Structure 1
């Protein structure tokens, strides 16, 4: 897939997406969060790009939602679904579900919904999902105890670009490598010509370093898992709670995570801990050992009586000797014991092993002095040796741990993605459960195997709109079926507009491949949804002309469209409105469109039309205590009575029968 072939993706966006690892896969999955990781791409922009990729794949022209009111219905429906997500990922991912006229896209989404509706959104799964987020890349860091070396300037530049975590150095020969080995715990030489090099220190010749960066910098893998530990553990909990099959061995993954702390450092290795503590505690340990030796000497001096003969004292002075020389001669055994105490104290506190103790002994030695002093050069050498031992062991252990975790990298990405996708599925399942939804049945126009849809249209049974401003449990179910062009009449506040909203909602959800709030729905696939809301007052001449132009365009090539119009007569005078609406219905009928026009002028429109316009009615049962009682399901081929007629009829039965009777005859 060429990125610039995706609708809405220009050169700049394509360049940003190319920075991702596998943007084509992210586009195919509709992975909004992954796409939003591209530089300069917001999550909103990522959703647009993902929808564009899906539309391109299925040949969708993005014209289904043809009016503002149709788009409002879609946004409201999408909001109901998004309100049932736990993760931000699922909220954005749901934006890739949109009504489409493409049969392949509808079926793809229906397959997703069918599986989703079988999911169980139990509280344990939803709770576990609260900790799941998309995985993040490892943070930027530097490894200072390891370096890369090469004789080639181009490889040097490539090393700095491909493995920026390590310092890169230019060398000329083995002597330069040996010099680096004295400064770094490990030197990785990139040139095969150095194979077999014999220098002191940890020198690795790795011409394949760029192909195996995780081996050269195992900290990458460890930092990735450290940064994403909570996300991964939450995803594991989701799989456990939901019974989903894990793409990797959960225990092996947990054991791998347990080996790394939150900073990406190894834990659980006693020898590495010992060396790390030894390096960290060296200065304190040396000072403590030095104090112990001096305390020993101080006590020895207090307890000894030293006698110096005059000739001895004169001889020492003439020779320029210090008093320490005299102490060394008189208290040599005590000095030896003090040094032993200091060395033992140092070795014990640092838990030094054989081979390291030799260096520790050099810290305290030489000519006796009081107070006893450390050998700073020996301390520095001991520090260097301990650091090298620590870093080399850490490097080996990190490489081993990274090898294990690296094998789990792709399964972990699948683990987390599956958990996030489960949230999308559970949102659909919760929507279906909350609003008693079912998957609709599609039939193509002209399909003679289905009488309901043989000429296009829809058949809704037990439909209830969750968009109404009442509790869903209180919404009365509606049955309604339409083929071709139909007028919908009814009393004021009888539910005509809410019926149109229900038809629009069912159509939008069905063409998005999502469940619909009804007991059953059969409908034909339509190419566009044109829903025109009720106009707020009579239009002036200019606006009226513009509206007529819109409907003229609407009636051109209307086959396959679903047109819903709410009280178009309000745009101008009633007499003219009836004639205009009749003309629009005639054009739609000739085009073979499916349309429902809500109107209080159904009788007048029917008289003006040159064909037999179907008229359905939402029938009022009557007035009870001043309140209208209505059968919300439209009655087929029935012109409903108006509210004024019902009121006059009620008064005729209660008062002046002659007056009200004559009024009633006018209807």
Structure 2
């Protein structure tokens, strides 16, 4: 399948996706995070693309959720699933699970859900998952102290594309290469023609450099691991805690990550750290040593009584000599001691090696002078040597660490992806556990739910009363206001939606019809005007076509017009659905009138009202077959008749029901 063949992927989106290494593979493995890593593709858009690819793979036309209320039920169920995901990736990945009428897709998810139900949502795993995020591509890496060189225009173009981190320079001959060596710390010549040429500086001739760029640009590999270090470490913890089979050696990866800082520099190298500290502290150490030497020499001068005879003074003046000569003659030893202490301070403060300390000694001259002053040229030479040594050490360590990590990159990405997919499985596992879910059977027409509890009710799930309800074709559901008719419809819708998603349902057992569309019509808010009423009738006329492949749930359709007309219209719709072999439930307060009007023996079920207690309605939540439930007004009249006052009046009213 080509990218443009995925439903919802146009030319612009396809172009963005082609930034990825293997975009079609990412789409086919349903890797929402990888798809979303393309520029301009949000996580929500990535989930939509993946859903499109799934539908294409299963030849799924979509359209299962045929009404607004059906989509609302799916959204509510999806939200409950997503609330149980720890990662943002998990939330978006769960959005690729949708209700379908295609058996292959449903069975695919069912197999996934069965695996997921076996997962243990261990708190330690969930904690570790909080720090797992999809692998990110590092920001562009630019290395300025190295370059590639070639005399060939085609090689130049290839190198520019293959190693964007380095500058690629065109040179005509060895002289041009020598010029580059003076401007860059190191140069890699890509042409065989330069082999054997002796050039001063760090110049390497490697015609195959583009086949192993990590050797010359270790920053590329290090940037990937540094950028994703926190996520990789969390993924390691997830795998160890969950006992997952890892795509990479966890100890080796962990050891490699320990050698990196967040900015991609090498960590844990004592020699490199020593050199870095020496470079950073050089000026401070020399200044402190300079002050120490002057303080020591000043104290020595203050403690000495220096006597200069007239002839000696005259001789010094005639020679134009100053205090330095006097120091040399009278305080040479004290000066030497002060400078020695200063040199030792620099060497100790910067932890210099012997060869470095010899350079540091040159920062203070041997000839006595006051005040003691650093020799800037010597300090600069020491700085240059320390920086060069630091950079050589850093480059060497970067190459070593990058070489160890390069082969782990693909496995590291898989490690993160597997941890994120575990989050998806654990979300399903937690959903099933929280709502006591069991796999549903899809077969024939009608449905049968035992011990079902709707997770959409605004009460703790543990407090929801279980409901048993089954319908063989199309039935009317009657009951008092606030007796649970709508929540029963919601339960049926939830079970049908989840079963067609391929997920377990919140019931002890359930059988649902294998339908192609779910039509759920919520209660209308008041009587419709003529235009809206006409439009509604057109909707139901279309609904009766191909009704055998539809599950129809309708809540109090009679509210759209006058009760008398409503009963006749609903009766006619029921007749059409019945004749077509549809599955459906119509909630109505006109169940008796509809039954009397319909041209066939309509099944009427009822939610039995037990009575009123302290003004609160008491009902048996499971609908009873063949029961035309009593209305709330009837219950109130009955209660008043039992209280004794005006009993004859209330009994007369009861006879009217």
TM > 0.5 = yes
- 2:281 alignment partner in structure 1: 281
Aligned residue for 2:539?
550
Q: Is the CA contact (8 Å cut-off) linking 1:188 and 1:205 kept in structure 2?
A: yes
**Cα pair distance change 1:335/1:441, threshold 3 Å:** same
Q: Which residue does the alignment assign to 2:143? A: 143
Distance in structure 1 (CA, Å) of the matches to 2:333 and 2:651: 136
Please say if residues 132 and 235 of structure 1, whose CA atoms lie closer than 8 Å, have aligned partners that are also in contact. yes
Structure 2 match to 1:198: 198
Q: Is the partner of 2:476 in helix, strand or coil?
A: strand
8 Å CA contact 2:450, 2:467 repeated in 1: yes
2:167: which partner in 1?
167
Cα 1:177–1:607 change in 2 (3 A) is same
More off after superposition, 487-496 vs 171-180: 171-180
Pairing 1:525–2:487 present = no
2:563 aligns with 574
Q: Residue 494 of structure 1 aligns with which residue?
A: 483
1:234 and 2:234 are equivalent in the alignment = yes
Determine the C-alpha separation between the residues in 2 that align with 1:466 and 1:17: 38
Who is 1:448 aligned against? none
1:427 matched to 2:427? The reply is yes
Aligned to 2:499: 510
1:272 and 2:261 matched: no
Indicate the SS of the match to 1:511: helix
**Structure 1 equivalent of residue 252 of structure 2:** 252
What is residue 452 of structure 1 aligned with on the other side? none
Deviations 1:549-582 (A, max 9, x none): 1111111122211011111111112222222112
1:69, CA displacement in angstroms?
0.6
Residues 79-98 of structure 1 mapped to structure 2, 5 A cutoff: 79-98=79-98
C-alpha separation in 2, matches of 1:314 and 1:618 = 124
Instruction: Tell me the residue number matched to 1:475.
Output: 464
**CA-to-partner distance for each residue in 1:106-139, whole Å, 9 max, x for gaps?**
1122222212222222332222222222232223
SS in 2 for 1:559: helix
RMSD between superposed Cα atoms in Å: 3.3
1:226–1:262 contact (8 Å) kept in structure 2: yes
Instruction: Note the 1:24-423 alignment, pairs <5 A.
Output: 24-156=24-156, 158-288=158-288, 313=315, 317=319, 346-353=346-353, 355-356=355-356, 359-360=359-360, 363=363, 374-423=374-423
C-alpha distance in structure 2 between counterparts of 1:561 and 1:298, whole Å: 103
Change (3 A) 1:464 1:296: closer
User: Does the C-alpha gap of structure 1 residues 174 and 322 become closer, same or farther in structure 2, counting only changes over 3 Å?
Assistant: farther
Which of 563, 574, 578 in structure 2 is aligned with 1:589?
A: 578
In 1, Cα distance between the equivalents of 2:241 and 2:611? 54
Tell me whether 396-405 or 268-277 shows the greater mean CA deviation: 268-277
Q: Counterparts of 1:100 and 1:38 in 2: how far apart (Å)?
A: 28
Q: Which residue of 1 aligns with 2:554?
A: 565
How many positions carry a matched residue from both structures? 654
Comparing 496-505 with 399-408, greater Cα deviation is found at: 399-408
Q: Is residue 628 of structure 2 the alignment partner of residue 639 of structure 1?
A: yes
Check the 8 A contact 2:37/2:136 in 1, yes or no.
no
Report the more deviating stretch, 654-663 or 560-569.
Answer: 654-663
User: Alignment partner of 1:210: what SS?
Assistant: helix
Equivalent residue of 1:585, what SS? helix
State the SS of the aligned residue for 1:405: helix
**What residue is the counterpart of 1:453 in the other structure?**
none
Contact 2:575 2:599 in 1 (8 A): yes
- Per the alignment, in what secondary structure is the counterpart of residue 520 of structure 2? strand
Structure 1: distance between partners of 2:460 and 2:312: 113
Equivalent residue for 2:440? 440
- Residue 599 (structure 1) aligned with residue 559 (structure 2): no
Q: Who is 2:619 aligned against? A: 630
SS state of the match for residue 481, structure 1?
strand
User: Which ranges in structure 2 are unaligned for 5 or more consecutive residues?
Assistant: none
